């Protein structure tokens, strides 16, 4: 994967961090995008210690001007992989979920991947085997209570991924939704303290699947991809 370049959102922790480590370990130059610069720099240092290469670029995926700044920084080159991993979730009843919470979940989980993909398309089109991997959720395929607003956004991301996959076929860009079950991440730990970690999907397993998807031969793709724990 020499000379391959990946942009990873939400790269400061959890699944995004694991994906960054996996891709860098395979020789991909990774661009770490996320809101918290200190976390991104820590990941970059970890990658450098393993002889990998990484660039830190703080951004909020809900802010179009910040995404445009990333494009401007990379405009003279290309990218081969866009991993839309930034996200947020909420465990809350329908009655208790505010309009503001719905707007936030929409902005991070659905609008963000759309804006990132749209902005970076010119750079993806320069690749001879480009991939957009949208990190979704098992909730887009299986219904659960108390996560209605989150489920709506991740189901929207599933639809977005399918439509993008069809629209970008002429550009030879594969778009795949990778939908993990509950993952062993800091976000999950904060939302569900005391959860049995043996029931959760390790972020490294998700990262391995991302690598499998971006390594597919040119012209080959896979549709919605669900990854869960065997209980």
C-alpha to C-alpha distance for 84 and 69, rounded to whole angstroms = 17
Q: Distance of CA 38 to CAs 101, 152, 225, Å? A: 26, 31, 32
Q: Is 150 a catalytic residue?
A: yes
**Residue of 29, 106, 114, 150 with catalytic role:** 150
8-state DSSP, 169: G
**Could you tell me the two tokens for 188?**
């999950």
C-alpha to C-alpha distance for 48 and 56, rounded to whole angstroms = 12
Q: Which of 165, 11, 194 has its CA nearest to residue 87?
A: 11
Q: Which of 146, 198, 215, 154 has its CA nearest to residue 179?
A: 154
List, in sequence order, every residue forming a beta bridge with 177; answer none if it has no partner: 134
Tell the residue number behind the tokens 């397993």, with chain if given. 205
CB 124 within 8 A of CB 145: no
**Could you tell me the two tokens for 61?**
């995926």
CB 96 within 8 A of CB 41: no
C-alpha to C-alpha distance for 92 and 184, rounded to whole angstroms = 20
Annotated active-site positions, please? 150
């Amino acid at each position: 994967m020499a000379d391959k370049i990946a942009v990873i959102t939400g790269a400061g922790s959890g699944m995004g961090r694991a994906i960054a480590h996996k891709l860098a370990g395979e020789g991909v130059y990774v661009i770490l995008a996320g809101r918290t610069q200190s976390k991104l720099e820590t990941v970059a240092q970890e990658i450098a210690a393993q002889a990998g290469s990484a660039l830190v670029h703080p951004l909020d995926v809900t802010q179009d001007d910040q995404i445009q700044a990333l494009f401007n920084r990379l405009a003279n080159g290309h990218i081969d992989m866009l991993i839309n991993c930034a996200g947020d979730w909420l465990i809350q009843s329908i009655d208790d979920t505010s309009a503001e919470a719905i707007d936030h979940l929409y902005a991070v989980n659905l609008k963000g991947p759309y804006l990132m993909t749209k902005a970076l398309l010119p750079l993806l089109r320069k690749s001879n085997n480009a991939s957009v991997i949208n990190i979704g959720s098992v909730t887009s395929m299986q219904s659960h209570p108390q996560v209605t607003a989150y489920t709506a956004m991740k189901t929207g991301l599933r639809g977005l991924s399918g439509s993008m996959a069809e629209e970008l076929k002429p550009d030879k860009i594969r778009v795949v939704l990778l939908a993990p079950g509950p993952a062993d991440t800091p976000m999950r730990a904060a939302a569900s303290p005391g959860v049995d970690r043996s029931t959760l999907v390790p972020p490294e397993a998700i990262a391995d699947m991302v690598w499998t998807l971006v390594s597919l031969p040119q012209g080959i793709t896979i549709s919605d991809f669900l990854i869960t724990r065997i209980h």
